A and B are shown apart, each in its own frame.
Chain A
């Protein structure tokens, strides 16, 4: 099922929760709606799930206006949402999962078969008789998934599916989400975790103050953030600003503090002119620390010298190197074994380079 929204707005008594949301959910994809808490993610999911009516704007299901359905129940039954915190009913796991089938009038013999199937999908074989309220957070979340997946909805909406779960359970839940998607179910995930969005999603919509600020593939969102907000939110870390001192057809030079930085021009920076003040960013993994034993090619651009101020662990396999160069702080992520091999330690002077193509000019906002 394809869902499309047109200028969707939702206003609560004291707050504009959504503003002009135009988004299309494609058949079979995993779309992540990425934003901080209070950005409007849950409201958007609730409207897509017909739990809430938009204040204005249109909602189309397979091209058909939602308002043209005389009864929304058949439409609602093609979708399911896993609400944040996985509320389960105070009954057995079996009855919880069977619930959605029973309200659809499913034959009781098929109910048993389908419940068994979905229990193995979420890895809870043998849990049928347990009371769902006695389960741990991770187990309850699996039951909540099974409750929604058992009747094979066309679209599954997930609100913060891994909030408050430990990393191992989080991984298991992400795995379940992939498996559900491979069954042909379109998945929409509202999340504040960039890692989750990048791991699972085919496309990411970044939402801020009820507006979609950027929609694209994970690569586009993370490596070509359009605005400073998206850059910060997706962890670009190295965000600078300066004046364009020179530009030609393919490259420009921006003077930022004591640095002249060369940047490749892409479509989004096409109308930047000499003299403009611009912001730009580079992700920490795009800053390369150069080996001392190989001489630097003098034609290499954006090579600077700095001193390591601090090294912090980052995500287990990486370390984050804090490099101070002429009073500007650069953050570079390096695999831990590489850092050890290069003997990167606090106080060491290093050469580092900023890849021209990895530098991205940002729109203000």
Chain B
């Protein structure tokens, strides 16, 4: 009886402290959140640009190896993050082919890894969105005097909600992922004097990697705080995705 009571108290106390950390914007918690948003945000923006270009090329033009590329994209949609992390690590590590760039254990390395993870998803879902636009819409644009470019731009416009959903799916994958960024980012914090106090500040530590390390070290309030922020983020992304889907139906 007392055991379950104290375990509830332990959970409760953890949550209260976590909320406190979030509300008073603890510098450590804030820095971890910032790194997460920066890494995943930049990665997804770069992925989106690449993916829309790739999806357009595949949907609007004919070229050799197109089907192969399509298969490669579909296969890559489910790449295991840890494996991607390993490959990026092997390339970036000091002794690797592009080790001289000195990117290993930097946010840039994490961006590269998440870029590789998000691009196939955004591309694949975007292609589906583009190809779900009825042929009649393409034909209408063409018969109204549109050039190939005019037709393609109009079809992209028609598919915009699907493409936004694709980008959100990519972002969802990026913020949920641990394996790749842990491998190439190293989960590093720096200790800095902030206002005269020695303070942990994230360099390559994100919400997901922070949860693994804090849990292991028994820093439950921190772990819960990161969990709450992560859940809010992914809830927010899903909420937008749902809203977009509703609009596209109506």
CB distance from A66 to the nearest CB of B (A): 16
Are A99 and B136 in contact, with the CB atoms below 8 A? no
Are A51 and B154 in contact, with the CB atoms below 8 A? no
Within 8 A of B (CB), among A138-176: 144, 147-148, 151, 157
* Residue of B137, B145, B154, B158 with most chain A CB atoms under a 10 A cut-off: B145
Are B145 and A104 in contact, with the CB atoms below 8 A? yes
Contact residues in B for A148 (Cβ distance below 8 Å)? 143-144
Contact residues in B for A103 (Cβ distance below 8 Å)? 144-147, 150
Please give me the residue from chain A that is nearest to B153 by CB atom: A103
CB distance from A143 to the nearest CB of B (A): 11
Are B150 and A51 in contact, with the CB atoms below 8 A? no
Q: In the complex, A100 Cα to B145 Cα: how many Å?
A: 6
CB distance from A355 to the nearest CB of B (A): 45
Are A100 and B139 in contact, with the CB atoms below 8 A? no
CB distance from B201 to the nearest CB of A (A): 46
CB distance from A323 to the nearest CB of B (A): 47
**Contact count band on A:** 20 to 34
**Contact count band on B:** 10 to 19
The answer, yes or no, to whether B141 is at the interface (CB within 8 Å) is: yes
Q: In the complex, A80 Cα to B147 Cα: how many Å?
A: 14
A87 with B136: in contact, given A51-B142, A99-B141, A99-B154 (CB under 8 Å)? Answer: yes
The answer, yes or no, to whether A90 is at the interface (CB within 8 Å) is: yes
Are B145 and A76 in contact, with the CB atoms below 8 A? yes
Cross-chain contact of A77 among B139, B140, B145, B154 (Cβ < 8 A): B145
Q: In the complex, A85 Cα to B158 Cα: how many Å?
A: 17
The answer, yes or no, to whether B134 is at the interface (CB within 8 Å) is: yes
Are A90 and B145 in contact, with the CB atoms below 8 A? no
Q: In the complex, A85 Cα to B137 Cα: how many Å?
A: 11
CB distance from A273 to the nearest CB of B (A): 51
A and B contact pairs by CB, cutoff 8 A, 16 listed: A51-B139, A76-B142, A76-B143, A77-B145, A79-B143, A80-B144, A80-B145, A81-B143, A83-B140, A85-B136, A87-B140, A89-B141, A90-B157, A99-B144, A148-B143, A151-B144
3 A-B pairs with least C-beta separation? A100-B144, A87-B136, A77-B145
Excluding A77-B145, A80-B145, A147-B144, 19 further A-B contacts by CB distance (< 8 Å) are: A73-B147, A76-B143, A79-B143, A83-B140, A83-B143, A85-B136, A87-B134, A87-B136, A87-B140, A89-B137, A89-B140, A90-B158, A99-B141, A99-B144, A100-B144, A103-B144, A103-B145, A103-B150, A147-B140
